[in-house]
Amino acid sequence: MGLLDSEIGKRRLLSIELPVIERYNDGRDALFKIQVLRVGSSLIMKYRLKPGHNIFQLETRLLSSYPTVPPETRVLTPLKHCPHLLEGQSLCLWRQGSTRMTSRWDPARFTCIFAVQAAWRWLACYEVWHETGEWPLPEAK
């Protein structure tokens, strides 16, 4: 019973997730559009972000249990080891029970594009960290 094999999952995709991806892509330079691939019971969004001076290639995976379980995002472009970076260059974006609203995944309010925005924010922090050695956002509690 998942995103791609249940009625509830398919309706979520058709009425919420895929339309917001189409809106995100609308009018955007082809290099920065989101491409969506079906891999097994998951969907993978492949895209590029340019938060500052550099272009990063990323993929966000919507697992079968999405949206109950938050999307997983990893950067494909090699990064220096830094704070909030998990194994496989996955980004630490969500923390259950966090006092910061944007750090708590909420399937009733967020779409997969929120994950893209969160990744953009993370990469902007990374670029600052890369130059200064300091992560500009306080740690989510």
Partner 1 sequence: MAHLVQVGAGSGGMPVLDMVAHDPRITRITLIEPDIYQPHNVVRHLFPRQAVGEYKAVLAQKWLQERRCDLQVRSLVRDLLDPAIQDELHRVLMETDIAVCAADNEPAKFHWDHLMRRHRIPWTLGEVLSGGIGGFVHWFVPDGPCYGCVAGFLQRTVEVEKAKAPDYSQPGGPEAATTVPATKASIQAVASLHALVTLRLLQEGSAYQPGFTSLLLTLERVPDVFEEAFRTYRFRVPRADDCLICRPGLTRVPADSSPEELDVALDQALARLGNE
100 is a contact residue toward partner 1 (CB under 8 A): no
Taking CB under 8 A as the rule, which mask of x and - marks residues 31-60 in contact with partner 1? ---xxxxx----x-----------------
Structure tokens belonging to residue 116: 């893209």
3-state secondary structure of 113: helix
Report whether the peptide linkage leading into residue 107 is cis, meaning its omega lies within 30 degrees of zero: no
Beta carbon nearer to partner 1, 88 or 97? 97
132 is a contact residue toward partner 1 (CB under 8 A): no
Give CA separation, 99 vs 96, 108, 117, 135, 141, in Å: 9, 18, 19, 18, 6
Beta carbon nearer to partner 1, 80 or 141? 141
Q: Which of 57, 68, 77, 90 binds partner 1 (CB under 8 A)?
A: 68
To partner 1, the closest distance from the beta carbon of 16 in angstroms equals 6
Helix 18-25 to helix 112-132 angle, to the nearest 10 degrees? 50
To partner 1, the closest distance from the beta carbon of 22 in angstroms equals 7
